[in-house]
Amino acid sequence: MLDTILKEAFIEAYQALYEKHPDLKHIVFQATRPEFRGDATIVVFPFTKDLKKAPEILAQELGSKLKENHRLVRDFNVIKGFLNIEIDDSYWLGFFRKNSDKTSFCAEFSPSSKRIVIEYSSPNTNKPLHLGHIRNNLLGWSVAEILKANGHKVIKVNLVNDRGIHICKSMLAWQKWGGMTPEQAGMKGDKLVGEMYVRFDKEYKKEIEALKNEGIAEDEAARKAPLMLEAQEMLRKWEAGDSDVRQLWEMMNGWVYEGFDTTYNRLGVDFEKIYHESETYLLGKDMVAQGLSNGAFYRKEDGSVWCDLRDEGLDEKLLLRADGTSVYITQDLGTAEQRMQEYEADQMIYVVGNEQNYHFDVLKRILKKLGKPWAENIEHLSYGMVELPEGKMKSREGTVVDADDLMEEMVETARRTTTELGKADELDPADASQLFEMIGLGALKYFILKVDPKKTMLFNPAESIDFNGNTGPFIQYTHARIRSLLRKAESTGLMPANDIPPIAQLPEKERQLIKLLHQYSYTLSQSGENRSPALLANYMYDLAKEFNQFYQSEPVLREENEAIRALRLKLSGFVANTLRHAGQLLGMKMPDRM
């Protein structure tokens, strides 16, 4: 591609001028800054020491030789030590003719294919999915799809945390204050179980306060509260295989899974395999026993098992409690081992919030102590939390934004906004309903994914549904506008049947659009390498914005020059296809009519 061609041309020019080979690490071309004339820029300062020449002279000499040797270089200019190169129209037209009818694209610099297991979602079966899960699911799913587009074999997996003290809290609350099935309560099963979890916390706090009033310290009161002791006993019974506890657990988890599936389906995320902590923690316990036998771990006097990481600058890590029950990292050890046995993955990516950075650092170190060389291939895709204008969400207190409620709110807002703007007036009710779903969920996905994953984000639904600015609906409307244009060209017989007629020189607006389309495969590559759908999302906005400026300033159907009209129509279709492809990688659907 262009970068490779320019590098080879630069090396050839350098050797011809100076009879020596340039240091390859300094041959880096970047897009020319918009305030300067040019398409690609290279900084020549790193070569001045070797050649003992002033940067301006060096850039001038290299630019002249590049222009002399390669018809690809139309012209050049020098700004201090920056060599700005203008690429000949023949290259842009060649790229355009080759790619304008494509509907699927791949990364420009696809690395050698890897087998990658990516875990995302990882919900607990004591509550429904919420706004934080939405960011996790959208990020994990989109990164998986982007990695596929970069040529990798990707396996999407989900680890459901279906056991532990938090699950027992919901179960105990249902026994004491629930007793109804989801059908009897008239609600989704995951929401019913979530309400039980909130009820436990409410009653638990009452017991703590009562103990504190008796003069017991708060920490001790939290440990001795009857509800907590009952929940801990239930967990011990679960691990011992008590039939009554297991039966209750299976029933309530079944309710939750049905609720999760409904949410996943509407959100548009899927998995090749779903793991359950209840099925992996035993393998983890076996690995802990192995670590005990070979001296990697040690047992304290109370019977608990630990890994000492203090010599690595960390702390001691609990692996098994004194009563023999496991902790989160126990099942993570088992899950990692099981996945390597099943998939022989080159890489395992965990999409988990940044509050777990320490956890994954510890996980990798413990696996290394167990003699697992593949621990180096574990990657924690750490992302920032989603916050609301009023602050953080808290599941125990019931102050979360429910995922189902949020999606419904987004679709309703899309219906109201679209109707007010008259953008669905010509659609029948069924098509209009489908459009509102596309816009509402597209707005949600774009708003979430356009933010760099590493950043904490503030979610404001009102800002996400706007047909102007950096939003999903703006991009969707641009796509629909192009499809409308192409339908009109088809119906009036103006759509070019084959390739465009010869063009002597590209008009500037068309040239800028083609250059931006040329960047797509590179952006796709960078988005995969950086695990950042935000790069792709913001590219989509730049492309949609550039097209709208072009569309407003340049006539398409009214253009009398047949070659230019054909170019503009083909170019419009190229933009629409690129927006649709990029949107698919973010989970966004692109409407053909609005």
Least confident residue range of 15-24, 203-212, 393-402, 547-556: 393-402
Q: Please determine, for residue 491, whether its predicted confidence score (pLDDT) is greater than 80.
A: yes
d(CA 230, CA 245): 12
CA angle 259, 262, 266 (to 5 degrees): 145
Closest CA to 22 of 39, 40, 3, 44: 44
Going from the C-alpha of 432 to that of each of 412, 425, 438, the distances in angstroms are 12, 8, 10
pLDDT score of 386: 86
d(CA 348, CA 202): 39
316-369 confidence digits (pLDDT tens)? 999 999 988 888 899 999 999 999 999 999 999 999 999 999 999 999 999 999
197-219 confidence digits (pLDDT tens)? 999 999 999 999 999 999 999 99
405-439 confidence digits (pLDDT tens)? 999 999 998 999 889 888 888 889 999 999 999 99
Exposure string over 46-68, b if 16+ CB within 10 A, otherwise e: bbbeebebebbebbbbbbebbbe
416-425 confidence digits (pLDDT tens)? 988 988 888 8
Residue 478 within a domain: yes
556-570 confidence digits (pLDDT tens)? 999 888 999 999 999
Q: How confident is the model at residue 111 (pLDDT cuts 50, 70, 90)?
A: low
In total, the chain counts a number of residues equal to 594
How many domains does the chain fold into?
Answer: 3
Residue 273 within a domain: yes
pLDDT: which is higher, 31 or 137: 137
Q: Please determine, for residue 78, whether its predicted confidence score (pLDDT) is greater than 70.
A: yes
CATH of the domain at 501: 1.10.730.10
47-63 confidence digits (pLDDT tens)? 999 899 999 999 999 99
Residue 98 within a domain: no
CA angle 535, 537, 543 (to 5 degrees): 100
Query: Is 148 in the same domain as 79?
Result: no
447-490 confidence digits (pLDDT tens)? 999 999 999 998 877 777 777 889 999 999 999 999 999 999 99
d(CA 487, CA 482): 9
- Domain residue limits at 202: 120-387
> Average of pLDDT values for 584-590?
97
Q: Last residue of some domain: 355, 387, 419? A: 387
pLDDT score of 422: 85
Q: Would you tell me the crossing angle of helices 328-343 and 277-293 to the nearest 10 degrees?
A: 100
Query: Is 314 in the same domain as 457?
Result: no
d(CA 298, CA 304): 9
Q: Could you tell me the two tokens for 193? A: 């179980």
pLDDT score of 461: 74
Query: Is 383 in the same domain as 407?
Result: no
CA 575 to chain centre: 23
Query: Is 78 in the same domain as 141?
Result: no
Query: Is 31 in the same domain as 160?
Result: no
- In sign, the C-alpha dihedral spanning 358, 363, 369, 372 is negative
CATH of the domain at 380: 3.40.50.620
Query: Is 127 in the same domain as 83?
Result: no
